[in-house]
């Protein structure tokens, strides 16, 4: 994904009309942001920073928040983690106005959208191995491969023959077209779907619907108008915008902020135990002290002084989050 140099073929302007007036967020309508945690572990400093940024960007605009628990992958999701995440959000003062919504139980909506794509002749079976391994989780930076279209032009006979040996995953045919959007923090972006992404999985071989499909349907259903998340998900945004266009859904505004990394430059993960929420609560004692440290480390405030969430939303210099310089957290 590169910053735009020339106007994109099809540029979706953040905050602009979606082309679907029934569901569009009219100018002046309230901002609705969202928390979209995956309940696959306890929060760490990186997840928490993402939630704080989403809350602040929405509240700065007088907006509201949706909480959606992204438990699309039943093997990795645990109800106990969802409960713990909600308690930790509450401790931080990260309030939500709508939800919690869940992804389990949404299969019918996902299926209906998938069948529309299928009826439009946009989906084909793919027998490549490991193709859909991660399709139910958000593909974080570095996990995205360009699919070369291997199975796109198999004949019906070849498909039948292969289907006897292996359940296929299902890919969406993407056009050789640029999708562009204005990121609220990173500026204009564009990606050629065919060259930089390739046909992507919308349904796994086990029948589960893929993250990319679920997330656009959920954002639309829940009235989300502003998606604020880590920059590792920026390469997924053109896929999501493309799906929104195909399905006649509104395009939210997008804001991608830099990630928190550890001293070795590696993205924080649930394995970095010293950044786990329990450690952080123990070390900082109050949400204000923890917020102050996050704000100082990321540069959105000039120092690490303890600060209340509402004050951070009002006073933070979010322009400091433009660019991909990660915040070292240690």
C-beta of 125: minimal distance to ligand GLU in Å? Answer: 26
Residue closer to ligand GLU, measured from CB, 147 or 211: 211
Residue closer to ligand GLU, measured from CB, 117 or 259: 259
Q: State yes or no: residue 138 binds ligand GLU (CB under 6 A).
A: yes
Q: State yes or no: residue 229 binds ligand GLU (CB under 6 A).
A: yes
Residue closer to ligand GLU, measured from CB, 53 or 174: 53
Strands 178-183 and 187-192: antiparallel
Residue closer to ligand GLU, measured from CB, 36 or 213: 36
Q: Within a 10 A sphere around the Cβ of 14, how many other Cβ atoms?
A: 19
Measured between alpha carbons, how far is 112 from 274 in angstroms, rounded to an integer? 43
C-beta of 118: minimal distance to ligand GLU in Å? Answer: 24
Out of 48, 215, 249, 295, point to the residue binding ligand GLU (CB under 6 A). 215
Residue closer to ligand GLU, measured from CB, 138 or 260: 138
C-beta of 138: minimal distance to ligand GLU in Å? Answer: 4
C-beta of 144: minimal distance to ligand GLU in Å? Answer: 14
Q: Does 241 sit behind a cis peptide bond, omega within 30 degrees of 0 on the bond before it?
A: no
Measured between alpha carbons, how far is 253 from 31 in angstroms, rounded to an integer? 9
Q: CA angle 28-29-35, nearest 5°?
A: 125
Q: State yes or no: residue 70 binds ligand GLU (CB under 6 A).
A: yes
C-beta of 219: minimal distance to ligand GLU in Å? Answer: 8
Provide the terminal-to-terminal Cα distance of the chain, rounded to the nearest Å: 29
Q: Hey, which residues between 5 and 44 contact ligand GLU (CB under 6 A)?
A: 36-38
Of the candidates 11, 36, 319, the residue with the CA atom closest to the CA atom of residue 186: 319
Measured between alpha carbons, how far is 290 from 283 in angstroms, rounded to an integer? 9
C-beta of 157: minimal distance to ligand GLU in Å? Answer: 39
Measured between alpha carbons, how far is 173 from 123 in angstroms, rounded to an integer? 6
Residues 228-252 as b or e (16 or more Cβ within 10 Å = b): bbbbbbbbbbbbbbbbbbebebbbb
Out of 86, 94, 210, 233, point to the residue binding ligand GLU (CB under 6 A). 233
Q: Please report, as ranges, the residues that interact with ligand GLU according to CB under 6 A.
A: 36-38, 70, 138, 215, 229, 233
């Amino acid at each position: 994904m590169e910053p735009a140099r020339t106007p994109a073929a099809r540029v979706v302007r953040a905050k602009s009309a979606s082309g679907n007036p029934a569901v569009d967020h009219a100018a002046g309508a309230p901002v609705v942001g969202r928390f979209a945690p995956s309940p696959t572990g306890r929060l760490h400093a990186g997840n928490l920073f993402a939630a704080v940024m989403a809350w602040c960007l929405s509240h700065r605009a007088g907006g509201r928040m949706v909480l959606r628990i992204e438990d699309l992958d039943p093997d990795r999701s645990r109800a106990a983690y969802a409960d713990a995440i909600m308690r930790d959000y509450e401790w931080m003062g990260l309030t939500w106005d709508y939800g919690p919504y869940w992804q389990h139980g949404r299969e019918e909506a996902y299926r209906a959208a998938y069948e529309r794509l299928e009826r439009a002749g946009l989906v084909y079976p793919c027998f490549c191995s490991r193709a859909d391994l991660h399709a139910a989780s958000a593909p974080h930076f570095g996990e995205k491969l360009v699919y070369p279209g291997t199975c796109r032009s198999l004949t019906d006979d070849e498909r039948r023959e292969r289907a006897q040996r292996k359940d296929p995953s299902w890919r969406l045919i993407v056009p050789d077209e640029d999708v562009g959007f204005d990121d609220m923090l990173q500026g204009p972006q564009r990606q050629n779907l065919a060259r930089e992404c390739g046909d992507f999985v919308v349904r796994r071989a086990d029948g589960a619907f893929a993250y990319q499909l679920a997330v656009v349907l959920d954002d639309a259903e829940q009235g989300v108008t502003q998606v604020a998340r880590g920059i590792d998900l920026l390469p997924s945004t053109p896929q999501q915008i493309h799906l929104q266009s195909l399905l006649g859904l509104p395009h939210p505004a997008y804001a991608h902020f830099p990630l928190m990394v550890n001293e070795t430059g590696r993205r924080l993960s649930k394995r970095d135990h010293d950044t786990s929420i329990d450690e952080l609560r123990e070390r900082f004692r109050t949400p204000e002290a923890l917020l102050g440290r996050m704000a100082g480390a990321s540069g959105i405030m000039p120092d690490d002084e303890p600060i209340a969430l509402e004050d951070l939303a009002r006073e933070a210099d979010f322009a400091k989050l433009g660019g991909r310089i990660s915040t070292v957290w240690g």
